[in-house]
Structure 1
Amino acid sequence: MTTVHTIEELTALLPDPAPGRRTLLGIAGPPGAGKSTVAAALAGLDPEHHALVPLDGFHLADQALVALGLLDRKGAPETFDAHGYAALLARLASAPGHTVYAPAFERRLEQPLANALPVAPSCTLIITEGNYLLLDAPGWRDVRSHLDEVWFVDVEPGLRRRRLVARHILFGKTPAAAEDWVRRVDEPNAARVAATRDRADRILDLSEWRLC
């Protein structure tokens, strides 16, 4: 495990660029570990050549989750379009000479937004982050096959849970509802993600992370 404190330390770990093709870097880890913060920081280092394409854009919409009886499990592996996500990664890896538009996720709406993230032809490093990049299951295996490296982000569990509760409150849940969701949904998902940890190319401890 590598303890990371700063963006400079993180940058030093980036894989060497592959001549003539794009590099796809996955950042996995349990809910609240800091994946999105790290991914955004890396993408922001060179916006012309780095692009961020999060897994969250492949959340199934609530309408689909209701039809499947999965709305109360939103965030579990089966509530994502893993096959669609893998197909987009394959398209991005092929480095087409045109802009590719990826979906995003709007947290205030709690819904995916189609075609919200442009990936320009100039992008040579694609950074994607999500809980289940290392999951050994249909669709998710295809996701892993398109990634050159996958980093697993870890933090102290108590800190991670506090972050999750604060995030749910920020986006509209009451404190009691936030605590209940973390206990009932996020923590079972976190346990499933933790079981994939040993499949990562690199494990990062971000308990002492500071963005500077």
Structure 2
Amino acid sequence: MDNTYSPYFKFDRSFWALSRDLPTLSLSEEEFEKLKGLNEKIAIEEVADVYLPLARLLHLYVTAYHHLQSKMNSFLNLPAPKAPFIIGIAGSVAVGKSTTARLLQNLLSRWNEHAKVDLVTTDGFLYPNRVLEAKGIMNKKGFPESYDINKLMHFISSIKSGEPALEVPVYSHLAYDILDDQTLIVDQPDILILEGINVLQVNTQEPFFVSDFFDFSIYIDADEDNIREWYIERFQMLRDTAFQNPRSYFHKYASLTETEANDTASRIWRDINAMNLHENIMPTKERAKLIIKKGNNHMIEHVLLRK
């Protein structure tokens, strides 16, 4: 652990892995493979060294949260709606947020005290393509202005108020758009994980932010050169898989050569994703309660926990 002055305690991987009082790991290789991202070359040891200690830490936070809620409702003599513990996960495109979210959902659901863990991504709160096109910001998809913030704020405040059976829009990466005929029902989970590139974003024109409703927040960090490489690598893999589907929005890229795909992905990264990273995502890093720093090949090197 590095105790140099900082708002964070800094733990290297080996120290973090020594966390005590851990539950028995029961994640099979098959389960792990299903939870991994498309091009994340991480081993199941990553779960034991990093994610299991993190899940145990979050378990302590969740247990304390529900205990406090119960005591506070009793003190105020108020009815006690079931309000979930909300975890926000932020970070760049291609940095591995989805894998982190799925792993934590799986691990946290293994405690009887909070077995119902729901995962929602902010993709469902993007404006439909027709709206983005009308606004002239189709090339800004993923930027703060491309989200229906009012709808997202209504959802997050409603679930924190304990409202049941909330409908969440569904986003299709195949269609690259919101599906008008589908919704996801979120019904009073014990824990809600909200994952998205800009969930820690502060909109200075609004009195409240999405992150105001978070009980814990995580930022997945890596050097930009690594993230760019992972993005291009993922684009190449999608060219050979999902883009081959004629129904895919990106089917036009399916016939690109490897060199053409590399050039296209590099251009998209430079003109869109890198800009979003620098202008909107990276400045929110220090707002997180915990930062996971990755090195080459997605391997986590150290963890920073706010003091």
SS of equivalent residue, structure 2 residue 286? helix
1:205 matched to 2:293? The reply is yes
Q: Which has the higher helix share?
A: 2
The percent of aligned pairs where both chains have the same amino acid is 24
Partner of 2:90: 28
The answer as to whether partners of 1:86 and 1:146 remain within 8 angstroms in 2 is no
CA 147–22 in structure 1, closer or farther in 2 if over 3 Å, else same: same
Partner of 1:111: 177
CA 157–140 in structure 1, closer or farther in 2 if over 3 Å, else same: farther
**Bigger RCO (CA 8 Å, 6+ sep):** 1
Partner deviation per Cα, 1:55-95 (whole Å, 9 max, x = no partner) = 11111111111100101222211111122111101111122
SS of equivalent residue, structure 1 residue 135? coil
Q: Would you identify which runs of 4 or more consecutive aligned residues in structure 1 move more than 6 Å?
A: none
TM-score, normalisation: structure 1: 0.87
Where structure 2 has 5 or more consecutive residues not aligned to the other structure, the ranges are 1-9, 14-45, 67-81, 244-252, 254-260, 301-307
SS of equivalent residue, structure 2 residue 183? strand
SS of equivalent residue, structure 2 residue 266? helix
CA 12–158 in structure 1, closer or farther in 2 if over 3 Å, else same: farther
- Map 1:159-178 to 2 at 5 A: 159-169=226-236, 170=238, 171-172=242-243, 173=253, 174-178=261-265
CA 66–131 in structure 1, closer or farther in 2 if over 3 Å, else same: same
The answer as to whether partners of 2:202 and 2:209 remain within 8 angstroms in 1 is no
Q: Distance in 2 between matches of 1:70 and 1:80?
A: 11
1:39 matched to 2:101? The reply is yes
Partner of 1:78: 145
Instruction: Tell me the C-alpha RMSD between the 2 structures.
Output: 2.3
Q: Distance in 2 between matches of 1:128 and 1:51?
A: 9
The answer as to whether partners of 1:82 and 1:139 remain within 8 angstroms in 2 is no
Partner deviation per Cα, 1:12-37 (whole Å, 9 max, x = no partner) = 23132322531011011122221111
Q: Distance in 2 between matches of 1:144 and 1:101?
A: 20
TM-score, normalisation: structure 2: 0.62
Q: Distance in 1 between matches of 2:213 and 2:186?
A: 17
Deviation at 1:205, TM superposition (A): 1.5
Where structure 1 has 5 or more consecutive residues not aligned to the other structure, the ranges are none
